[in-house]
Structure 1
């Protein structure tokens, strides 16, 4: 009976060493797992103007960002547009980029050809409006500033 007990204890000791061994996780594997869990289509914090509250919810931050951006652009357009002879109503899509230092860059302007005819300087006005904007706090993801792109619909209406 003793030899059987000795063999059983020896087998138990030899097989139990695996339980005490620490498994090492490769840093590349850990990095890949972390990258897979991040939702890259969404930021943790939207770009912020000075007037926006950084402690507000994401929805409130986004609303404040859109409001401040629209107000600034609308103000420049309103001050720049001369008297228009014909009634005009168009939605202009501004595709813009905000880099990691909070600088706006106008990527593309999509508008109707009639708007270009009646307001030939609208593109330069829009570029001027974005150029006059103060630098803002960029969007962040995991505490790191990231580049973001937005499409802002701007309604141009003359009466």
Structure 2
């Protein structure tokens, strides 16, 4: 929520000052079942909690991240460079009701990208295609990589070593 941004930014600054003074970093849950406004989780969306808390391998994954990692994630803006990646092939699998990477932002990025590119638009939230449409997502990705990696392989003019 916009009114919570100031408090969150102050937490970022306090943690940064504390670390400069030698204190350990603050850790927050990566996801949380408490998805109410003000949740300390890096990703407070219900779909994220359902996915990570019920599907992640608990012997290797811990549900925590530094507060500064959350700060850096908020600054991540891949759309800034999307028009510059061509001619690298771009495949985007976008879910219509994504609450982590909103579909309208993803579609805007896709429209600004240059060829070669392909868009696969599916129903569901951010994790839907990973769970309920896993075979479709894998098939689309494998076909895309197979097509474009073979093209690179054919055009690779480096001498054999």
TM over 0.5: no
Q: Which has the higher strand share?
A: 1
Say which one has the larger Rg: 1
Q: Which has the higher helix share?
A: 2
